[in-house]
Amino acid sequence: MAPAMPPDAVDTVRAFNRFYTRHVGALGEHLLDSPYSLTEMRVLYELAHRRAGVSASTLAADLGLDPGYLSRILARFESQRLIAREAAADDARRTEIRMTPRGHESFAPWERQTRDGVAAMLDGLPAHGRRAVLDGMRAVQRHLDPARAADARAYTVRTHRPGDLGWIVQQHGAVYAREYGYDSRFEAVVARIAADFLERFDPARERCWIAEMDGENVGSVCLVKKSATTAKLRLLIVDERARGLGIGRRLVDECIRFARQAGYRKITLWTHGQLAAARGIYRSCGFARVESRRVKSFGHHLVDETWELKL
């Protein structure tokens, strides 16, 4: 028999809802003084982060929205040229929705403002308070939606903290020596890249993301400035314990999303021909190989490759 519900349980939930919506600025007619309501912002966010088109019915189901209400929102976005409808690649009878370049450009400042606002809120808390808030949010997800939360708690992605770049250097040195036989010169290259990132870090145009599982680092990637219009993706790695969960793809997607927001027009990266898993991720994200050459590096004959993605 389930324990009796506390008499103030419903009032507690409603009070929390009122507090949180007021705290994040969702009660006004427009979210964060943007032209969009909270629901419209949710729709734009979903479309901005889908690399493939999606049907209106699937979008309505994923967001829990009434199809008629969503249809009116989509019609407005289409009139503003934020989205476009096109026939599905696998079935011309089915229509899919994609965000247009104009849509990405229009939405990016509001997403950046949202992320900056959340970051500022969390930065204002002491470390123990921040962890308590985040743990509480995860607990709400875990208990109210166990099926979806199971995937969400498998790993988390955050920006770097002190000590993370040291972990990245150690991980690259150990993994590439064990799996590919690279000598210590490779670890030295990674150490120089990490040191340059920390010494020259520009938070407006550069990022490092860390994937965590059970409180331990299991993946990383950095996006650094190469020029005013070109960013460079560096230091992508996923620990063998966490492979197969989509972490590598998620980290690269974070780079692409941030690069668009920061105003870059292109992302470039350097890799080796035998790194099949990494090359598969790059290809699936839209990167294309633009240059290759045979070299002798780190104790091996390798194929250096340069890949690019135009934004």
What single string gives the DSSP state of each residue in 67-132? Answer: HHHHHHHHHHHHHTTSEEEEEETTEEEEEEEEE-HHHHHHHHHHHHHHHHHHHHHHHTS-HHHHHH
Q: How far is CA 236 from CA 175, 268, 309, in A?
A: 12, 13, 16
Paired with 209 in beta bridges are: 159, 221
| Sign, CA torsion 67/69/71/74 | negative
pLDDT tens digits along 182-205: 999 999 999 999 999 999 999 999
Q: Does 127 score more than 80 pLDDT?
A: no
What is the CATH architecture assignment of 12-111? Orthogonal Bundle (1.10)
Place of tokens 């598969």: 280
Q: Does 11 score more than 90 pLDDT?
A: no
Query: The tokens of 175 are what?
Result: 């993994």
pTM: 0.56
pLDDT band (50, 70, 90) for residue 162: very high
pLDDT tens digits along 283-300: 999 999 999 999 998 998
The residue extents of the domains of the chain are 12-111, 154-310
Helical residues (DSSP H) of 181-246, grouped into ranges: 184-200
Do the first three CATH levels of 12-111 and 154-310 match, i.e. the same topology? no
Find, among 93, 4, 80, 7, the residue nearest to 40 by Cα.
80
**Strands across the sheet containing 266-272:** 156-159, 207-213, 216-225, 230-238, 266-272, 300-310, 288-297
Q: Please tell me the distance from the alpha carbon of residue 277 to that of residue 279, in angstroms, as a whole number.
A: 5
Q: Does 27 score more than 70 pLDDT?
A: no
CATH class of the structural domain 154-310: alpha beta
Count of other CB atoms within 10 angstroms of residue 98: 15
Query: The tokens of 52 are what?
Result: 């493939």
Report CA 243 to chain centroid distance, whole Å: 17
